[in-house]
Amino acid sequence: MTYLQARGVVRSYGPTPALRGVNLDIAEGEVVAVTGPSGGGKSTLLHCLAGILRPDAGEVRWRGERIDTWSEAARSRLRRSTFGVLFQFGQLVAELTAAENVALPLLLAGTGRREARTAALTWLERLGVADLADNRPGEMSGGQQQRCATARALVTEPRVLFADEPTGALDTLTGEQVLTSLVRLAREQGTSVVLVTHEPRIAGYADREVVLRDGVVDHGGLGLETPLAGG
Ligand code: ADP
Ligand code: ADP
């Protein structure tokens, strides 16, 4: 079934159009890489699909229901209950241990302390960093932090994981390892993934690649980029 749908999504920052009418469908369990040059609108599209940003025009639907018209509070609830987000720098809470960081989304959702800790440890183990459960982010490498952030993004077993350059701050090998774990675990639980990356190699892990250029999906067709004559 179709999970996410963008129809004619337009979004500008002041006079700068970042998205100029994007259409995109993402199916249940599908791993989609959103690629294209810097400034092409990748992050903006991810934010619109995840309900973080509201489009100026067009529609965003989750399982057929428009969410772009929802209030900030309703979209925030959807993000916490159904979506997971992961950014380039994991944004772990510096004062909390790895296990506490991973347990946090569950505690916010009302899960009991003991159950949240158990789930956190399970997810740290799945990401191969169980031995760091009691370490704080400052005591971990970038790759270890991003594994921990990945565990935190998946611990709620989201239906869609939005990942914006999740391996962009890591060296090639480490980035590839973190991404392999992320995609494997998402596939195991049928989570769709929207993966923003500017690295073609990383896009190879996806089922499908969507290229955004100048705020529209580039279908690679001849003539699409040719400006109309005259005017
Ligand atoms: P990408 O992720 O492909 O690099 P972005 O979605 O970040 O593209 O940016 C698309 C365009 O919107 C760029 O021209 C960028 O400079 C602009 N932009 C993005 N975020 C902001 C913002 N907060 N304020 C102003 N312009 C922005
Ligand atoms: P990413 O690495 O995910 O593409 P960026 O580094 O482009 O993100 O942007 C980081 C933050 O700065 C985002 O919140 C984005 O909206 C904002 N931003 C991006 N481009 C601009 C811009 N031209 N002017 C103001 N803010 C921007």
List, for residues 84-130, the tens digit of each pLDDT value.
Answer: 999 887 789 999 999 999 999 999 989 999 999 999 999 999 999 99
Which domains can be identified in the chain, with CATH numbers? 29-43+73-209 (3.40.50.300)
The rounded mean pLDDT for the chain is: 92
Q: What is the pLDDT of residue 42?
A: 96
- Res 231: pLDDT: 37
pTM of the model: 0.85
pLDDT at 69: 97
- What ranges make up the beta strands (E) of the chain? 2-13, 16-27, 31-35, 57-62, 65-66, 83-86, 160-164, 192-196, 208-213, 216-217
Pocket test for ligand 1, best of 9, 12, 13 (most atoms within 8 A of CB): 13
Q: Which pLDDT score, from 0 to 100, does residue 102 have?
A: 97
State residue 221's pLDDT score: 61
Q: Which of 43, 54, 199, 213 to mutate to test the pocket of ligand 1 (most atoms within 8 A of CB)?
A: 43
Which residue ranges of the chain lie beneath pLDDT 50? 222-231
pLDDT for res 203: 87
44, two tokens: 């903006």
> Helix, strand or coil for residue 155?
coil
Q: What tokens were used for 158?
A: 């989201």
Cα–Cα distance, 144 to 192 (Å, whole number): 23
